[in-house]
Structure 1
Amino acid sequence: MKLPIICPSCENTLNVSQLKCSNCKTSVNGDYELPLLMKLSHENQAFILDFFLSSGSIKEMAKQAGLSYPTMRNKMDDMIDEIKNLKK
């Protein structure tokens, strides 16, 4: 099951309110903001993982996805802009 990151009612980013140890059942409650990368869509998280696993080669990622280098580069640039906006 994928962690929901967007509110289904207002489309705002969700926060974490409880963490629980699966071993001893200890719970920690609060209002915690998600880490920056977790605020990205699941698709963009997968893109970053693929980028890392391809040793940072956009050319290799484009080849594996059957896309042109400029198309993959544009996707990367869009993600960079999205991350910059999330950091504000």
Structure 2
Amino acid sequence: MNPLPTRCPFSGGDIVVTRFYCPDVDISVDGRFAVNIPFAQLSAEQLQFVELFLRSEGKLSRMESELGISYPTVRSRLHDIIRALGYEPGKEEPAPMNEDVRKQVLAELDAG
């Protein structure tokens, strides 16, 4: 069975499914159904990457060794997939500093 396309191969527009069929009970359901499958827009290679990401529990270093590519390349591919899903990869923000730790650091700097 072919995968469900998410874009029209002629115009590139959205696909609207108009019929579902269940062979178990030989029933068809007609209507207008939107295709809202976020991962359907990913290529086969990107889907394999996502599967490995899940198997690796999100650890990019494990993916690096499994794929035999550098860490920056793994990260770049992950960012490509994030963008393909319509998001923008976030920048890593430093963890907020506890007020007590902040005061201690300032005191140490003040003391020289």
Report the secondary structure of 1:84's partner residue: coil
Partner residue, 2:81: 79
Write out per-residue CA displacement over residues 21-73 of structure 1, whole angstroms, 9 at most, x where no aligned residue: 12111112223222112222232222212211121122212211111110010
| Pair 1:3 & 2:34 matched | no
TM-score normalised by the chain length of structure 1: 0.75
Alpha-carbon contact 1:13-1:39 (below 8 Å) kept? no
Gaps of 5+ in 2: 88-112
CA–CA distance in 1 between the matches of 2:22 and 2:39?
22
Instruction: Name the amino acid aligned to 1:26.
Output: I
Give the direction of change, closer, same or farther, for the CA distance of 1:16–1:46 in structure 2 (3 Å limit): farther
In angstroms, what is the RMSD of aligned CA positions? 2.0
Specify which structure has the bigger relative contact order, considering alpha-carbon pairs within 8 angstroms and separated by 6 or more residues.
Answer: 1
Gaps of 5+ in 1: none
Give the direction of change, closer, same or farther, for the CA distance of 1:40–1:50 in structure 2 (3 Å limit): same
CA–CA distance in 2 between the matches of 1:15 and 1:51?
31
Instruction: Name the amino acid aligned to 1:78.
Output: D
Partner residue, 2:21: 20
* Greater C-alpha Rg: 2
Mean CA deviation greater in 50-59 or 14-23: 14-23
Mean CA deviation greater in 21-30 or 37-46: 37-46
